[in-house]
């Protein structure tokens, strides 16, 4: 008689150690018009902070590894800066090690354009009014103004557009977009026929729904919003 023996193999992986160090700088915020920069690994947040002419930039410098000394070595490979150049705040963050980076949070004026690329991170905007050009994995928050953004994963925004604007949103994942009710919209969505589209009534005069396509018109259509998306879409009233 043959005997069958069942063995359970347990694979123990080394724990991931994460080290973090918080640093910060302050720069003069008077007359600032643009927050611009590129971060190769890490997140960027721009937060409206009223009542101060100074801008504070908080940096969380991090590294990860199977051992603490390895995580610290990777953390030491991170370089970052936030400097004022004319009317622009210039951000930079880079690391020669894969498992390390820097997360930057800018506390500054609410009226500012944001021109940021986060190659391997997310961008969040909170109460920012301006013209925004952003590339990131995920783009979130609440903004006023104009948008030209690309997300490799998802977009989740409350967006109050200017009275006349031409906004563009591209996402390799999904898009959830909150818009004010009853403005003069010309909304076009080009999407994936296999993904869901939820379009809330924003006072449309005309709403055309097709396979992977939506066009909504309200009023004269002064606010053009063009969305190209690979995942599901939700257009809702501002939350």
Measured CA distances, 145 to 48, 156, 180, 206 (Å): 14, 16, 13, 24
Is residue 65 assigned to a domain?
yes
Strands (E), the chain: 17-28, 34-39, 44-48, 54-65, 78-85, 88-95, 100-108, 113-118, 123-161, 165-171, 174-179, 185-190, 197-199, 206-210, 213-217, 223-229, 233-237
Host domain of residue 47: 17-121
Tell me which of 67, 94, 121 is where a domain ends: 121
Predicted confidence (pLDDT) at residue 44 exceeds the cutoff of 80: yes
Per-residue pLDDT reduced to its tens digit, 185-217 = 999 999 999 999 999 999 999 999 999 999 999
Predicted confidence (pLDDT) at residue 228 exceeds the cutoff of 60: yes
How much is the pLDDT for 53? 81
Tell me which of 100, 121, 142 is where a domain ends: 121
Is residue 12 assigned to a domain?
no
Same domain, 226 and 143: yes
* Mean pLDDT score, 121-126: 98
* Mean pLDDT score, 157-184: 97
Spatial separation of the C-alpha atoms in residues 12 and 170, rounded to whole Å: 41
Same domain, 108 and 146: no
Same domain, 104 and 148: no
Same domain, 99 and 198: no
Same domain, 132 and 235: yes
């Amino acid at each position: 008689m043959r005997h069958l023996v069942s063995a359970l193999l347990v694979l123990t992986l080394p724990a991931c150690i994460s080290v973090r160090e918080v640093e910060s700088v302050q720069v003069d915020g008077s007359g600032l018009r643009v927050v611009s920069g590129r971060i190769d690994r890490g997140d960027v947040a721009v937060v409206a902070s009223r009542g101060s002419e100074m801008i504070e930039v908080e940096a969380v410098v991090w590294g990860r590894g199977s051992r603490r000394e390895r995580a610290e070595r990777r953390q030491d490979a991170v370089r970052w800066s936030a400097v004022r150049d004319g009317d622009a705040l210039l951000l930079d963050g880079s690391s020669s090690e894969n498992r390390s980076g820097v997360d930057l949070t800018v506390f500054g004026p609410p009226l500012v354009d944001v021109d940021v690329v986060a190659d391997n991170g997310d961008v969040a905007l909170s109460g920012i009014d301006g013209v925004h050009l952003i590339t990131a994995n995920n783009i979130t928050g609440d903004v006023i103004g104009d948008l030209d953004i690309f997300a490799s994963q998802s977009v989740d925004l409350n967006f109050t557009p200017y009275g006349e604007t031409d906004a563009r949103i591209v996402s390799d994942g999904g898009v959830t977009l909150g818009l004010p009710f009853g403005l003069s919209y010309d909304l076009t969505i080009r999407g994936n026929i296999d993904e869901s589209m939820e379009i809330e009534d924003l006072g449309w005069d005309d709403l055309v729904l097709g396979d992977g396509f939506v066009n909504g018109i309200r009023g004269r259509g002064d606010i053009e919003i063009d969305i190209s998306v690979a995942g599901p879409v939700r257009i809702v009233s501002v939350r």
